[in-house]
Amino acid sequence: MEIKRRDFLRVMGAAAAGATVGGLFRTLTPKEARAAVYATNKKRWIFLVDTHKCVGCGMCVRACKLENEVPYNDPVTRTWVERYVILKSGKAIQDTPMGGLNGYTADDPQGQKINSDDIAKAFFVPKLCNQCEKPPCVQVCPVGATFQTADGVVLVDRTWCIGCGYCIMACPYGARFFHPIYHTAEKCTFCYHRISKGLQPACVFACPFGARNIGDKKDPNDPVTKIVLTERVSVLKSEYGTSPQVFYLGLDENVR
């Protein structure tokens, strides 16, 4: 077939006009639209635990359960407080009855009576989801029911979760469990509903001693970020390469 010069010009003209108009009224891809909307959202939530200040009262565990509707007397919890008693002999005793929900009211780790003169050091370590930068729990989810938000919090979609338990297995920190009522994977959200409204997470709010703190890593003036950047902090199980975002002051080698 032969194309006439006139036809060729007509087609090309129409195409050029179409491209110009199309460019003027270009529809954004969903990704571009979201980028435009969320451009102001420049947060990355991090957490700082000062183990020196924790007294093991368990108020944080209590507040977490009540705020987040985790059945109070079931042996599951989103955050917990571990007790470590290290004797002068070098022996380390660790226990976490009910996640520390009712506080530690006697010197009886693992039910053993300890002579206080034998204690070299003893302390409490609050734990929670590390909201890893590279969360293995999210990678293993076969259905996309768990995910990370733009500000770094890993959440679970209760209606989408099929309850396979892969994520519970994949978490090196044991931070996930099955919710006794919904039978779906459950985990700490940094109280996403509170921090998104400018409140502190329930555990931070409930702590009378400032052992727990929340911060925004992208804000250089944030007091927590300042401490993380300028002081000697450690994280749990860095060897797993998950890049955990819960930082600790005063960790001991016995804490795993």
User: Residues in the site for ligand HEC, rule: CB under 6 A?
Assistant: 57, 59, 208
Least separation in angstroms between CB 191 and other proteins: 9
178 or 205: CB nearest other proteins: 205
Site string for other proteins, 78-117 (x = CB under 8 A): -------x----------------xxxxxx--------x-
Least separation in angstroms between CB 235 and ligand HEC: 27
224 binds other proteins (CB under 8 A): yes
Pairing of strands 92-95, 212-216: unpaired
21 or 66: CB nearest other proteins: 66
184 binds other proteins (CB under 8 A): no
Name which position in 20, 27, 89, 159 contacts other proteins (CB under 8 A). Answer: 159
The DSSP letter of residue 240 is G
Torsion angle (degrees, nearest 10) of CA 204, 105, 248, 129: -60
Name which position in 43, 47, 49, 56 contacts other proteins (CB under 8 A). Answer: 56
53 binds other proteins (CB under 8 A): yes
10 or 183: CB nearest other proteins: 183
Least separation in angstroms between CB 31 and other proteins: 8
Nearest Cα neighbor of 171 from 132, 137, 127, 126 is: 137
Q: Report long-range pairs for 98-105 (Cβ below 8 Å, ≥24 apart).
A: 99/61, 99/75, 100/56, 100/58, 100/61, 100/124, 101/58, 101/61, 101/62, 101/65, 101/72, 101/77, 102/58, 103/56, 103/57, 103/58, 103/59, 104/56, 104/57, 104/58
Name which position in 12, 75, 160, 238 contacts other proteins (CB under 8 A). Answer: 160
38 binds other proteins (CB under 8 A): yes
Structure tokens at 15: 């195409």
User: For residues 193 and 153, what is the distance between their CA atoms, to the nearest angstrom?
Assistant: 11
C-alpha separations of 57 from 22, 170, 248 in Å? 64, 30, 19
User: For residues 233 and 250, what is the distance between their CA atoms, to the nearest angstrom?
Assistant: 8
Which parts of this chain interact with other proteins (CB under 8 A)? 30, 34, 38, 50, 52-59, 62-63, 66-67, 85, 102-107, 116, 119, 121-124, 134-135, 138-139, 141, 144-150, 155-160, 189, 192-194, 196-200, 202, 204-206, 208-211, 213-214, 222-224, 227
